[in-house]
Chain A
Amino acid sequence: MAMELDVFVGNTTIMDEEVYQLWLDGYTVNDAVKVRMEGGVLEECEASADVLLSDTMDQYRTFQMCERLLHSPAKLANQLLFQIPPHRQAVLIERYYTFDDAFVREVLGKKLSKGTKKDLDDISAKTAVTLKSCRRQFDNFKRVFKVVEELKGPLVENIRQHFLLSDKLARDYAAIVFFANNRFETGKRKLQYITFQDFAFCAGQLINNWTVGAVDNMVEDMDVDLDKEFLQELKELKVLITDKDLLDQHKSLVCTALRGKTKAFNEMEANFKNLSRGLVNIAAKLTNTKDVRDFFIDLVEKFIEPCRSDRWTAADMRLYLTHYTNSAHILDTFK
């Protein structure tokens, strides 16, 4: 039956989590009805397709009305329009801010600008995430970015408090914000194999160790910008590759420590100079914004790929880097 008007409003707002997910995923009402029918909800409840359509429309309208509130989740708790139990509010928010890994991988490190937004249809085609969903996710990134941009204090904590997200999701958003701010290039083909979670881990490490916030926790943008002074100081590492004696000394220290501990020892020893040069060069260039953007490409090209071609294992890599760092500390220059 075609209804001119059909609404259902509960005192406690009724929300079906399955329909919410369909809405978030950008399904149209009709597609959502199809999906639900296939899900067998009809047989369970002796209902007809009309009922399902009407229910889906109602829910979609509710979600649309709620969307405005979800943009500033803190409002959801003290708005009066919808009576939603707190645990349900939390679910609504968490789901709304959840993103697709495939999508985020495409925009990670890109400027969250109108230009990027225009490319969303390409991304949608590529990732099979609906355009509507892409827009929502993109707008979420942008919104979080804008809000935390002007806030003092730790990035993850700010995101968690302003958007009432779980710790995990807040960390992911921190990574997105961090990448967007520093415009790290992540889209090159060579970087495709790296997942979002890999990058998020790197972001966490960078935030904890390389940003202003790592030393002083009460300045603006503390967790978003890399510490300039620190980057400047990295230049001093150059001595490790320019000073021939030092390079040899370093190498021998590392090799002594590694000997017998890994199968890839020979390759390590043979490539030491190249690898060390690669690492130090990357570090020394980071005062340049352009080189910061290429940080991950450089790492892959200059360091990871050579290691991979030598068939290092992850354990090898960890061992090598640990001793590489420790040995450097022993060198007289750095004492």
Chain B
Amino acid sequence: MPGKLKAKIVAGRHLPVMDRASDLTDAFVEVKFGNTTFKTDVCPKSLNPQWNSEWFKFEVDDEDLQDEPLQITVLDHDTYSANDAIGKVYIDIDPLLCSEAASVISGWFPIYDTIHGIRGEINVLVKVELFNDLNRFRQSSCGVKFFCTTSIPRCYRVAMVHGFVEELVVNEDPEYQWIDRIRTPRASNEARQRLISLMSGELQRKIGLKVLEMGGNAVVGYLQCFDLEGESGLVVRAIGTACTLDKLSSGSAPNTTTHVHPNTAPASNACNSPSKDGKESPLAHGCRSTHNSPVHSACSSQRLSQNFSVSVPTLIFTGMGSGGSAGKEAGPLKTLLRQQTQTALEQREFPFFTLTSFPLGFLVHVGGVVSARSVKLLDRIHNPDEPETRDAWWEEIRQEIKSHAKALGCHAVVGYSESTSICEEVCILSASGTASILNPRYMREGCLDIGNTDHRFEEPSPPSCGFCHIPYDELNMPFPAQLTYCHHCRRQKVPDVLFTTIDMPSEAAVSGKGCLIQARLCRLKKKAQGEVNATVISNLLPFMEYELHTQLMNKLKLRNMNALFGLQIQISVGENMLLGLASATGVYLTALPAPGGIQIAGKTPIDLSNEHHILTIQKRINDTIAKNRELYQINPPKLFALDPEVFGGINMELTEEVVGSPIPEPRQRSRLFRSHSESSDELSELDLSHGKKDAFVLEIDDTDAVEDIHSLLTDAPPPSGFYSCNTEIMPGIYNWTSAVQMFTSVRVFRLSNVNLTNQGLNKIFTDLCENLLKSFYFKLRSMIPCCLCHLNFTVAVPEDELIQVAVTAVAMTFDKDQTQERTADKPVTKGCSETEEQLQFPLELFADSSSTNTQTSSKISGVPESTGVSPRAASVDYGSFADRCSTWLELLRLKAHTIRRGSVKTSRRTQSLAHSASSLDRCSPLPEGRSRSLRSNRSFGGGSVTVVKMTPLSFLPGTRIIKYLGIINMFFIRETTSLREEGGVSGFLHSFIAEVFAMVRAHVAALGGNAVVSYSMKECMLMENPHKNQAQCLINVSGDAVICVLETDQEPMSSTTSIGQTCTSGAT
């Protein structure tokens, strides 16, 4: 009996009227944990009852503490009939089980009812007393920390990365057919909420156990998902990365985590013998637009009567083109390093990592995206305690991923994620990640101590390009790729295009800004049942992946970029169609070759009008590319490459055409390549015959191609002042200001036209996504200049003729003046260590923060001044090293200067906002800054509601996270039988999403936090029945509750900050 849970019910407020006669409520509260229930006294005739109960004590196993939520039910006492439930609160007490997280849960929780939504609030206090349990065979895993964040949490240092952990639990769904059964939907939905809460507790405990077994103390990148398989049951599954984390002392700068050993990026390069998996040859994939030969999917479909499954051939997205030249000999030391890495990783069953960004030096090389999908037929789960089938399914997919990674010469998969799409009895399981080579330093025991000895392996390869270097053997490439020497260090080979699922490494050298790139696709399919259906779907999948990939590649070229980060490909299945959506952030990596343009070619240029048509299209494409280059400020650094000191005598001009290179990468070859074809033997098995064509030629001899080109050109760029990306941060923007606005938007489109073609459908789907983006830009226009980050699109086909798109993202403001300066000096910063820079910024800020106010008036109008500065920065002479150093310092000074100016400017802006509150044109959603908290305290007596910021990112700009309080993982169901009265589905969902936000905020505030980072909405499942005036919706959200303080405040929890203040007031 190792734990004592204590709960105290303090008070309620804003309760609903339960007794029509008196317009009042006689409320009391039931507190339940496990099988024990306590009750408070009835507080008669009050809508704001004060119970002030005793401490209810539950003596329980810590296993139960992890599994069970604390259930609080508020009821209305009724003398004659049954008591009416007002609503419930589920409190996950897991954060209290970890000594470093929250110590008490205390605050106002919204009382939630599945039918009525939020009905008042209740003030609760919860504490846990935990006794140490030394039982080796224990079933609990208290103390293991969980993080949704997919990077090393900001106030921790990673001592060791243990690797992949996964678990799943299954159960019967308490009520799947909610409308038709006898039990009230309310009862069954409550049962469902309770069950899922219980299951996720259990899942977390089991994962925790695995982590303890591995010797870790935390799970980072924890991703938990629900599969509502309908009649066959309910699956809750989770994956994550087990780590050993050390807490940093609160005083140290947050940056140190990511710069444990800033200069130890070993460059193990071209591997000698990439382990080639004979059979699983991946489907290499370029951007080829000829559609003459259909893909022959080599489906290995096993037909089993009971457990039907079709495995779909997987695509590996990487660069394309054909073979490079002979590679350099890898030194013996590097081989040694490689062997060490291999063994460190090969001990693991799945060398997978759910992380998307890494400590410096961890990621050595990136191979490309690996993904696997499989179509399954769901059958009833017979024994929930032994969920072997589901385990086996995932096992199969992970094996496939692993072998794909091997084929790319990589020993690990990073940025790994898994997902499902279910329609009736068909289920598509998908997994994807980025094949890569990791530095073994983080995976060995005591790794950090021997970190220094690794120095002998190291070559001074700049971290800004190292990850782009190919991990596979040039002579023995797994797919045709066009290799060139790295345009940055000139030592290693790089592919011409790089696709990844991870965030861009912060040290990567980019030119200009990135942008969101989406490929969207709809494919109709016939309605079918069972195995037939599954076969149809699995036959369609490769075509879809192929087309999505083609679209991505074309759009990337059109934007004059050469790398994709954060690639997510989602395929959703409906009864009569499949939806595919690929999102990624395009970037111009200066280490990679400049992308060629797109050439349009007609197959048979017989008549002149056709020729003319092609010419006009070509012109439009060229114009768009030129426009995009300007829009995203892509200026590959030519001057820098000229510097002989950096490149050890290699002197070559890096213009679009590669000229005069001593490296065997002549322009002739690439030009030859354009007209001729080279076949690669590797590919013969799955080569689709258009691997032989040049990647950049679009043939428009069939309607599909015309449509493709059309869709290419119809993608509207974001309006000026806006940028968008789906990664954590926007490449090319560094000077974030503190305003953030997280939002969720959902749209459902009903296809009215019954006889839709694929083209028509595509158009609708594309417009749907494009219009959503346009809508965001419009709504957030007051935040300009601003960037939409972490744009996460989720598509679904909830019913026959419905397409649902849900988006969660965050809009963040940045300082425009500085951006320009930054881009201007970009070539300079590139070669240098980022650490220096990152450390220097805050320091300068601190030193000068006191004087900022006095400077305000004079500098605030300094826009012309700053533009006057930037050309100076741009015209820096790169001639000699000494010169560069001095300019570098000067630049730093300049930069610090503008930062100062920038921050002053924003605070001014918020202030004026507060004052001009009545002016009509202001509708800004940015409530930040001190002015606000001062105001609030003055005029509203410090309203008791803590401001809780939410963001899908792992950080909040301008603030420092000082404590992680625990994971937030919540599941809600809302239903209505008066849909019209609630404003239709839109009104229903609008209030539900607002309620979910409110409940998340309340839980975070009760833990003592003031922000949620890595927030995501994993599930938003809407079912409607307008004829019956009914609807139901399920939402699952998760994130990390944190306490953060303004970066400029040296004292944590300083009471002068708006955050600190609200925090303390919230705790009382």
The interface of chain A, by Cβ under 8 A from chain B, is 1-19, 21, 44-48, 50-52, 54-55, 57-58, 61-62, 64-65, 75, 77-83, 85-91, 164
Contacts and interface: CB of A to CB of B under 8 A. Distances in A.
Nearest to B109: A80
Given A86-B932, A86-B939, A90-B939, A79 B14 contact: yes
Contacts of A15: 923, 925
Q: Interface size bucket, B side?
A: 35 or more
A54 B775 contact: yes
B998 A51 contact: no
Nearest to B927: A85
Nearest to A15: B923
A4 B917 contact: no
Interface stretch (B4-12, B317-325, B853-861, B989-997): B989-997
Contacts of B742: 10-11
A50 B780 CA distance: 16
B743 A9 contact: yes
Interface hub of A14, A50, A55, A86 (most chain B Cβ within 10 A): A86
Contacts of B985: 4-5
Interface in B1-23: 13-14
Nearest to B746: A7
B774 A51 contact: yes
Contacts of B760: none
Contacts of A78: 13, 943-945
Interface in B996-1034: 997-998, 1001-1002, 1022
A141 B743 CA distance: 36
Given A3-B748, A12-B925, A18-B923, 10 more contacts: A6-B746, A9-B994, A17-B922, A45-B777, A77-B943, A80-B108, A80-B1001, A81-B110, A81-B995, A81-B998
Given A12-B741, A51-B771, A86-B932, A80 B945 contact: yes
A1 B949 contact: no
B749 A1 contact: yes
A9 B993 contact: yes
B923 A6 contact: no
B741 A86 contact: no
A204 B910 CA distance: 37
Contacts of A9: 743-745, 990, 993-994, 997
A44 B782 CA distance: 11
Contacts of B719: 45-46
A61 B987 CA distance: 7
The 7 closest A-B pairs by CB, nearest first: A85-B927, A77-B943, A86-B936, A16-B923, A5-B748, A11-B742, A8-B745
Contacts of A77: 940, 943, 945
Interface string B152-196: 000000000000000000000000000000000000000000000
Contacts of B776: 8
A45 B768 CA distance: 19
Nearest to B783: A14
Contacts of B748: 3-6
Contacts of A19: 923
A51 B772 CA distance: 8
B923 A7 contact: no
Contact of A4 (B749, B918, B920): B749
A48 B939 CA distance: 39
By CB atoms of chain B within 10 A, which of A11, A54, A82 has the most?
A11
Contacts of A88: 917, 927
A164 B939 CA distance: 9
Given A1-B749, A10-B743, A86-B939, A80 B983 contact: no
B781 interface: yes
A80 B1002 contact: yes
Interface in B917-933: 917-923, 925-927, 932
Nearest to A7: B990
B774 A48 contact: yes
Contacts of B997: 9, 11, 83
Interface in B883-933: 913-914, 917-923, 925-927, 932
B94 interface: no
B917 A51 contact: no
Contacts of B998: 80-83
Nearest to B996: A9
Nearest to B1015: A11
B935 interface: yes
Given A61-B983, A61-B990, A87 B914 contact: yes
